[in-house]
Structure 1
Amino acid sequence: MTSYEPARPVAVITGASSGIGEATARTLAGLGFHVVCVARREDRIKALAVELGGTAIVADVTDGARVDALAAGLDRVDVLVNNAGGAKGVQPVADADLDDWRWMWETNVLGTLRVTRALLPKLIASGDGLVVTVTSIAAFEIYDGGAGYTSAKHAQAALHQTLRGELLGKPVRLTEIAPGMVETEFSVVRFGGDQVRADAVYEGMTPLTAADVADVIGFVATRPSHVNLDHIVIRPRDQASATRKFTRPE
């Protein structure tokens, strides 16, 4: 098992190779946490961990054996940030791609379940644990062409909110972060690597950055232990809902 300096709390961040996960690792490291960067892309998280003085663990949250190994290799966990997830495709329900749906549910829902369940004993044992689950405004809104993603995010939010009640009385806080439009690799993945199509999503408006969301997670992680920020929605000023945004004329 890996040991850490007793004075430094340990934060595990999934999906840490880019976007919100990478930004969160940077933010929490700056706040004094030893960050454990978890992702599939080994080169990226190793470079990040070296830069931040943290630990890199190569793991896919859909792989139960890798998640179990992650938990077994850590002797302390104070904060878990469930960030791994994403969307694939924009097909209507009538044309749904079952492989895309399966990936979204495996990653967003079962991935969150696997990691949270595996690390929960250590979070409780810390005496002041925190679980942050990054969902989306898609966890409480719907839109045409988004049923696979919105259904997965609704389920992920239900999992997190249920755990909030089940852990009542335990020394663990739970915060759901629901971002709106954030310019990361999200749209590139959703559109199968089409960068031009992904860029068009944010044209004419100012989206959130990964650092904007990470700043909020850092704030959550540094509240007093009796303060639980249950649910935080973060949108850019130019976005009113999943289907309404302000676009500036060229």
Structure 2
Amino acid sequence: MPQLAFITGATSGFGAACARRFAVAGWSLVLCGRRQDRLDALRAELAGIPVYAFPLDVRDGAAVKAAIADLPPEFTEIDVLVNNAGLALGLEPAHRCDMEDWERMVDTNIKGLLYCTRAILPGMVARDHGHVINIGSVAGSYPYPGGNAYGGTKAFVKQFSLNLRADLLGTRVRVTNIEPGLAESEFSLVRFKGDDTQAAKVYQGTQPLRPEDIADIVYWATSRPAHVNLNSIEVMPVCQAFAPLAISRES
């Protein structure tokens, strides 16, 4: 029987890579993101796979609730939710940061994840089947200068994932927090608000993780036997270690 994955933030990076990985395995997909043109392009790329794609800003709780309530019948029984939508903004110390950046990170990384989870989880529990994949970050465990609110939001994702497992005891619904380290996507371009030069410096001289690496891990986690729950998967490139922004760079 075909399986169905719901992926937020599917217009780029990890989200788009996850969509492609699940499509290769023949899964049906519900994809959402803020950019309609990119959703259209991805849906065209995945021709032959059942795809329902629609624009959605996960910060809008009412819109999330309405969109999920209005899913076509063939896209309602969601097997896997990939809570991927998220972002980092700025790298200033806390006393110089932009408060609007903090608020946007909280609204997206925390509240958006909560809205989507709360809307989809009851169906999983009712069917006694499902898997919630949250995209966290090593920033939720290891602090670094300028990581302030972003690291705090990912620490929330880490703890919320654990608490979901506690609440779901007695069901067959699984929860996994994927915690990537240095990964090259639009992440740094967004963090530095479109500054290509500054974003490129983050990855200069390194071999970072790629969105396809994370998508493989997400798919692998969902493909484990139904009695196996991977609580968390922390992954870094070999050029990264456990210290604030400890990155080995080739000269």
What is the TM-score of this pair, normalised by structure 2?
A: 0.94
- State which of 238, 243, 246 in structure 2 corresponds to 1:244: 246
Task: Provide the C-alpha distance between the structure 1 equivalents of 2:169 and 2:227, rounded to a whole number of angstroms.
Answer: 12
Q: Which moved more, 1:149-158 or 1:174-183?
A: 149-158
Amino acid at match of 1:231: S
Contact 1:87/1:186 (<8 A) preserved: yes
Amino acid at match of 1:185: E
Structure 1 residue 29: deviation in Å? 1.2
Residue 122 of structure 1: aligned partner:
123
Amino acid at match of 1:73: D
SS of equivalent to 1:81: strand
Structure 1 residue 125: deviation in Å? 3.0
Contact 1:78/1:122 (<8 A) preserved: no
Task: Provide the C-alpha distance between the structure 2 equivalents of 1:12 and 1:231, rounded to a whole number of angstroms.
Answer: 20
Structure 1 residue 98: deviation in Å? 0.9
Whether 1:56 aligns to 2:53 is yes
Structure 1 residue 123: deviation in Å? 1.8
Amino acid at match of 1:149: Y
Whether 1:192 aligns to 2:204 is no
Whether 1:37 aligns to 2:19 is no
**Percent of pairs with identical residues:** 43
Structure 1 residue 31: deviation in Å? 1.4
Residue 28 of structure 1: aligned partner:
22
Residue 88 of structure 2: aligned partner:
87
Matches within 5 A, 1:1-250: 7-52=1-46, 53=49, 54-74=51-71, 75-241=76-242, 242-249=244-251
What is the TM-score of this pair, normalised by structure 1?
A: 0.94
Task: Provide the C-alpha distance between the structure 2 equivalents of 1:87 and 1:214, rounded to a whole number of angstroms.
Answer: 20
Q: Which moved more, 1:127-136 or 1:237-246?
A: 237-246
SS of equivalent to 1:22: helix
Tell me, which stretches of 5 or more residues in structure 1 are unaligned?
1-6
Q: Which moved more, 1:118-127 or 1:142-151?
A: 118-127
Structure 1 residue 204: deviation in Å? 0.8
Task: Provide the C-alpha distance between the structure 2 equivalents of 1:220 and 1:70, rounded to a whole number of angstroms.
Answer: 27
Task: Provide the C-alpha distance between the structure 1 equivalents of 2:52 and 2:23, rounded to a whole number of angstroms.
Answer: 11
1:103-153 Cα distance to aligned partner (Å, 9 max, x none): 000000011000000001122234320000000001111111110111111
Structure 1 residue 81: deviation in Å? 0.2
Structure 1 residue 157: deviation in Å? 1.6
Task: Provide the C-alpha distance between the structure 1 equivalents of 2:200 and 2:124, rounded to a whole number of angstroms.
Answer: 39
Structure 1 residue 34: deviation in Å? 0.4
